[in-house]
Chains A and B, each alone.
Chain A
Amino acid sequence: MAFVNLQINLSELPNADELVMEPMAESYEREVKTQLFIIFLPILIASVLPFLITHIMWLLAIPVLVLLLAILISTLVIRKAQVKGVSLREFDVAYRSGLYWRKTVIVAFNRIQHVEVSSGPLQRKYGLASVKFFTAGGSSVDLKVDGLSTERAEQMRAFIADKIDESIKQ
């Protein structure tokens, strides 16, 4: 067995999989859709150009293919935005993401070095913000949560800042 000589009974441990993930803000889906629209519209327009210039019929296949691809990617991206979830527990923050390659990241508050709240122009339009949690050490050892409402992000930042202060005082 993998676990030997433990101080605590494994069955007594708080199970991180029982936690209920809170979905992202409602406007997050709209933001993602707008983002997709901004990306795909110019591509779609550009893909019609060969046909418009040459008037060769089969060149219409390009915009059709691009449209199909755009729909496929958009569905996946929107689904991905829907399954994201975040949860604050007493001592840590958990973040679940990924549609097929599902990933759960957990960071304890007393390992968080600092918290950053950011929001881009599009995010601001939808009243959204991202929260980044930085831990120590090597690269990619931080957690970024997109699609939180501005209030929720600020709330989260304040909550964790408090927790960090607490753990420093101890």
Chain B
Amino acid sequence: MSLLGDKLTWQRTSPVAVVFFLLNSVRQIITNGLPAVAIMGAAFVSASDTKKTWLLTGLLGFALLATIAAILNWVRFRFCINDDKVLVRSGVLKREELTVEFGRIQNIAIREPVYMRPFGLALLSIDTAGSGKKEIVLGGIRKNVALQLRETILSRNKVEALAPLEEAEDSDDKSLLLSRNVKDIVIYGLTVNFVLWVVIAVGAFFGAFDVAENFFTWLGNYIQIEDVMVAVEKAGGMIGAALITILVLLLIFLLLPLISVTGALVRHYGYRLRVEGETYRKTSGLLTRHDESMKQHKIQAMVLKQNFVARFFKRTNMQLRIASAGSSPGNGQLPTGPKTTFLVPALNDNELTELVPEFLPGCDYSNVEFSRINRRRFSLVIIGWAVMPPLLLITGILSTIVSWMFLLLLPIGLALAWIIVSQVWSKSGYGVVGNYGFIRHGFLGAEITVFPLFKVQRVDIRQTPGQRRKKLAHLAIHLASHSLSISYVREQDARQFRDLALYHVESSNRTWY
């Protein structure tokens, strides 16, 4: 747009972007302060009318402030597209200027949120590589500008330009790699975040007890649960009341997967994965259309996840990891943000065997033989150091204070620990097939990470004195996307794994990024 030496032409996004900034701050408040919001909500419902008025006034004032902040944010947000870079100036109190060169860009996504569609606007997010860099989001630019911009950036990256969105929509085109129907997405929704449901359920009943209590008080006031309880108790005694309670808890627990499935449908409805040259592109979304592109050579690792729900459905969720941005040391961010993974959900075994070599050329996935870690040492160390001390302490205290019967907990606890440790041991493994490394972890399900050996960034081998004696080692492999590690590997294997990875890194003149 501007020649060298010319003045840069700064642009603003459309005023609709105010909504975008507002939603962003609301989302941040909700995700960062969910317990606080929940407590506020509970407090609001149970508050008296005068208090309600105050709370409402406060809320309105807050909304007004947030709106003003969003408007200021929009006014301050300016961007500029140069021949080979994007510049962004933003920030109300703390002013920021970001420069991102086209060559550094890892991933470009175009989204069309519901509130932008009527205006023909879109949201372009640009993900960069390198330490300390942030993601750039241009919310509220014209859709054709967004498409054109993506084309320019991708062509700078030496890749053929992409077809416009509408053309690619053609259903019987050859570039279509995979599509997901509603059933697949529902299964994905059930399989994803299973641990999260448990955490939410446990958290609601134990951790954030105030929230749960307030919620139940509110529920009680609302449907006069006490009357129901009294009636039930009269009819069926304590057992009936307990049954009702269990039923209610069960209902709430069943609600969680429903939320998960709804979330999955909203995000991934109409999932289409296409390949255009070297670029993979997926489109999905019920309300907001997501259009994400990623180039094959940007893939740092492939993570195949199959938890026990997924195993029941015989499906695997695939994640393609690209170099993580903004994970500079010490900013406390998880190195695996949602933007640095490219999801391919709910694959059955046939689709899996077909797609693995598509993303990782020449990867002989079916031939992998996982070597296991040393069972004796692994179990002894975990049980001896992590399980025994607290177990002994608890049973000791309980048996001396309450009753000797609690000593029975010791064998039960040990047996349970043994089962869990054996399960974890049986899922830990490592292997190499051709040019690809494999690391497997798991408990009930399994998570396999596959990575091209030449993309390894750094290898560490660590040994405790005990491991040194037993000729075992801890192997850590650092990729640009995330780090992997496996313990109690045979020392010789760890070294060979490392030397092999280094051989690939050093003999290959392909770039990792």
A143 contacts B496, C-beta separation under 8 Å: no
Question: Among the listed A15, A134, A141, A167, which residue makes an inter-chain contact with B499, where contact means beta carbons less than 8 Å apart?
Answer: A15
**In the complex where A3-B500, A13-B500, A17-B495 touch, is A136 in contact with B459 (Cβ < 8 A)?**
no
Given A2-B431, A136-B130, A139-B329: A106 touches B502 (CB 8 Å cut-off): yes
Which parts of B310-361 form the interface with A (CB within 8 Å)? 323-324, 327-331, 335
How distant is the Cα of A118 from the Cα of B474 in the complex, in angstroms? 30
Which residues of the partner chain A approach B503 to less than 8 Å between Cβ atoms? 8, 13-14
Number of A-B residue pairs, CB cutoff 8 Å, is: 147
Proximity bits, B472-508, A CB within 8 Å = 1, else 0: 0000001111110000000001011111101101100
Expressed in whole angstroms, the Cα–Cα distance for A136 and B483 within the complex equals 11
In the assembled complex, the Cα of A102 lies from the Cα of B502 at a distance in Å of 20
Task: For the complex, give the distance between the alpha carbons of A105 and B513 in Å.
Answer: 22
Give Cα A64–Cα B265 distance, bound, in whole angstroms. Answer: 68
Instruction: Tell me if A107 and B458 are in contact (CB < 8 A).
Output: yes
Asked whether B67 is an interface residue with its Cβ less than 8 Å from the other chain, the reply is no
Bound CA–CA A7/B468 (angstroms): 30
Q: A134-B131, A137-B481 are in contact. Are A100 and B432 (CB under 8 A)?
A: no
Q: Write out the residue numbers on chain B whose beta carbons fall within 8 Å of the beta carbon of A5.
A: 364, 367, 433-434
| 0/1 string, B116-156, CB within 8 A of A gives 1 | 00000000000001110000000000000000000000000
B459 contact set on A, CB distance < 8 A: 105-106
Q: Is A68's CB within 8 Å of the partner chain B? A: no
Which residues of A sit under 8 angstroms from B323, Cβ to Cβ?
136-137
Residues in chain A near residue B364, CB distance under 8 A: 4-5
Contacting chain B: which of A46-54, A108-116, A149-157?
Answer: A108-116
Name the contact of B328 in the complex, choosing from A98, A102, A139 (C-beta under 8 A).
A139
Q: Decide if A16 touches B130 in the complex (CB within 8 Å).
A: no
State whether A137 and B457 are in contact (beta carbons under 8 Å apart), knowing that A16-B499, A100-B465, A110-B505 are contacts in the complex. Answer: yes
Q: Are A136 and B129 in contact (CB under 8 A)?
A: yes
CA distance A105 to B431 in the complex (A): 20
**Residue B218 interfacial (CB < 8 Å):** no
How distant is A83 from chain B, measured CB to nearest CB, in Å? 13
- Complex alpha-carbon distance, A7 and B459, angstroms: 20
Decide yes or no whether B512 CB sits under 8 A from chain A: yes
Q: Is the CB of B329 within 8 A of A140?
A: yes
Q: How far is the CB of A145 from chain B (nearest CB, A)?
A: 13
Q: Is the CB of A105 within 8 A of B432?
A: no
Smallest CB–CB gap between A13 and chain B, Å?
Answer: 4
User: Which residues of A, 103-140, contact B by the 8 Å Cβ criterion?
Assistant: 103-108, 110-111, 113, 134-140
Q: Is the CB of B369 within 8 A of A1?
A: yes
The answer, among B327, B329, B330, B462, for a CB contact under 8 Å with A103, is: B462
Q: Knowing A10-B500, A13-B496, A136-B129, say if A108 contacts B462 (CB, 8 Å).
A: no
**A138 touching B481 in the complex, CB below 8 Å, given contacts A2-B497, A3-B432, A101-B464:** yes
Contact A105/B371 with A91-B506, A138-B481 known, Cβ cut-off 8 Å: no
Q: How far is the CA of A136 from the CA of B133 in the complex (A)?
A: 12
The answer, yes or no, to whether B463 is at the interface (CB within 8 Å) is yes
Q: How far is the CB of B440 from chain A (nearest CB, A)?
A: 11
Q: Is B188 interfacial (CB 8 A cutoff)?
A: no
In the assembled complex, A45 has its CB within 8 A of some CB on chain B: no
B213 at the interface (CB under 8 A from A): no
User: For the complex, is B271 an interface residue (Cβ under 8 Å from A)?
Assistant: no
Q: Residue-by-residue, is B293-324 near A (CB-CB < 8 Å gives 1, otherwise 0)? A: 00000001000000000000000000000011
Interface presence of B175 (CB below 8 A): no
- Kindly identify which residue among B328, B464, B496 contacts A3, using a CB–CB cutoff of 8 Å: B496
- Closest CB of chain A to B375's CB: distance in Å? 16
- A168's nearest neighbour on chain B, judged by CB, is B511
Q: By the criterion CB–CB under 8 Å, are A137 and B327 in contact?
A: yes
Q: Which of A4, A10, A14, A16 contacts B431 (CB 8 A)?
A: A4
Q: Which 3 A-B pairs have the closest CB atoms?
A: A138-B335, A137-B480, A2-B371
Q: A residues bordering B, Cβ < 8 Å?
A: 1-8, 10, 13-17, 91-92, 98, 100-108, 110-111, 113, 134-143, 167, 170
Q: Return 26 A-B CB contacts under 8 Å, by A number.
A: A2-B431, A3-B432, A4-B364, A4-B432, A4-B433, A5-B433, A13-B503, A14-B499, A14-B502, A16-B498, A17-B495, A91-B502, A91-B506, A101-B462, A101-B463, A103-B460, A103-B461, A105-B460, A107-B458, A136-B130, A136-B512, A137-B327, A137-B482, A139-B327, A143-B458, A167-B509
